[in-house]
Amino acid sequence: MVYAPSLTPRPSPLRPHVLAKEHLHEWLPLNPSPTPLAGPTEADPHSTSSLDMNKLLQIKALRERAWDESTLTTYGSGLLVFHVFCDSKDIAEADRAPASHTLIISFIASLARCYSGSTITNYVSGIRAWHLLHSLKWQVDKLDLDILIRAADKSAPPTSKHPPCEPFTINYIISLRQHLALDNPLHAAVFACLTMAFYGTAHLGELTVPTLNSFDPTKHIKPLDVRTETDRHGLISTVFHIPKTKTAKVSGKDIYWAQQEGPLDPLAAYNNHLQVNEPTHADHLFSYLHKGKHRPLTKQAFIKTLTQATQAARVPALKGHAICIGSTLEYLLHGVPLEAMKAKGHWASDAFSVYLTHHAQVLAPYIQAQLELHMAFLQLTIPSPRNCR
């Protein structure tokens, strides 16, 4: 693990060389709060009177669980950038935490024209989380902070923002399938994962593991987490229960799909995977055989396998999150109501509207001159009003 030349902090016993996800915990302020129970705005001088230090450390550890590992990594990266900025300005350690309002807005100004508003927001959130974790007062005015970040976002270079993501489509996946050997253990697992992510409208990170050693049965999906459900009309759905996700840390969430016609049937792909790899009930669901042992399917292995298939098919390689985008678009084009699709994709905000504004195909039936076509489509897409009482 080596720092980038432009992001190398000055050596300090307060900041050991650790992974980004460990920065919030391992990097210490010069003058930490004497009471780990202290809130973000004020300390209680009597908070330690009846609690021993072990209990206080347990409370600090509990605070750390508020953030997902990927969030800790992002926040840790922001904290690194902050300290590199402070080093460049010769900011004393005592002035870095608690950070003054002036220091934070100066940091934001230094990032403007280089980073997008969302990146700056994440970095500042990381500094704030560091303060909260170590029970230090956060002294930044939120209104002023929001104004500055909006201004910084407007001045961000085009290169700092991701271009619209092209979605996976049925034809695109078929072209990849032609270059996957479904009797190959890895290919069988990847294709099963791909079809189930597509028809289940799932995020790739929910079905794969970050690293070979990071499989956790309390977080990641296993064969035991798969079930089938039949509705009153006899329609069968396959349900995958993901024990824990970034947005559903306690109850987890269900993703579901039904058998499809044609070469992309997720049920056929799943059954083929089970036959080729035979994962045990305790394994990662998409574990595959490697040198006689089961290996969990990592996101990196998934992407690498698909990239090789795209090269063989001579089609562009798409981003992993384009699977979920393509799934949403495919269902919308088949007339699934917007609200139903929002529920299926577990969208908690109006970010779902990106699928309408970025894809004219979805809105085309709404804007036609033919009244009959317009009204027919409305019947499919507009949810029924709730009963009034």
First-to-last CA distance in the chain?
63
Domain ends where: 133, 160, 187?
160
Flag whether 376 is in a domain.
Answer: no
Same domain, 26 and 100: yes
52 pLDDT band (50/70/90 cuts)? low
Half-sphere exposure of 201 (CA within 13 A, CB side): 23
Distance CA 349, CA 329 (A): 17
The answer to whether residue 293 scores a pLDDT higher than 90 is yes
Tokens of 97: 């935490």
- Across the range 148-176, mean pLDDT stands at 81
> What are the angstrom distances between the C-alpha of 254 and each of 44, 209, 221, 225?
42, 17, 10, 9
385 pLDDT band (50/70/90 cuts)? very low
Q: Which residues contact 190 (CB under 8 A, 6 or more apart)?
A: 180, 286, 297, 301, 302, 305, 306
Same domain, 176 and 274: yes
Angle at 148 between CA 142 and CA 150, to 5 degrees: 100
Flag whether 21 is in a domain.
Answer: yes
Domain ends where: 287, 305, 326?
326
Same domain, 52 and 190: no
Three-state secondary structure readout of 345-375: CCCCCHHHHHHHHCCHHHHHHHHCCCHHHHH
Same domain, 279 and 226: yes
The answer to whether residue 334 scores a pLDDT higher than 70 is yes
Same domain, 38 and 122: yes
User: Domain total for the chain?
Assistant: 2
Same domain, 54 and 32: yes
Structural domain span for residue 48: 5-160
Q: Which residues contact 82 (CB under 8 A, 6 or more apart)?
A: 96, 107, 123, 126, 127
Q: What is the pLDDT of residues 73-89, one digit of tens each?
A: 999 999 999 999 999 99
* Chain mean pLDDT for the chain: 83
Flag whether 378 is in a domain.
Answer: no
Q: Looking at the DSSP assignment, which residues form a beta bridge with residue 53?
A: none
42 pLDDT band (50/70/90 cuts)? very low
Q: Looking at the DSSP assignment, which residues form a beta bridge with residue 255?
A: 240
351 pLDDT band (50/70/90 cuts)? low
Please state which of the ranges 139-143, 157-161, 277-281 shows the lowest mean pLDDT.
157-161
Distance CA 174, CA 162 (A): 26
Identify the CATH number of the domain in which residue 302 sits: 1.10.443.10
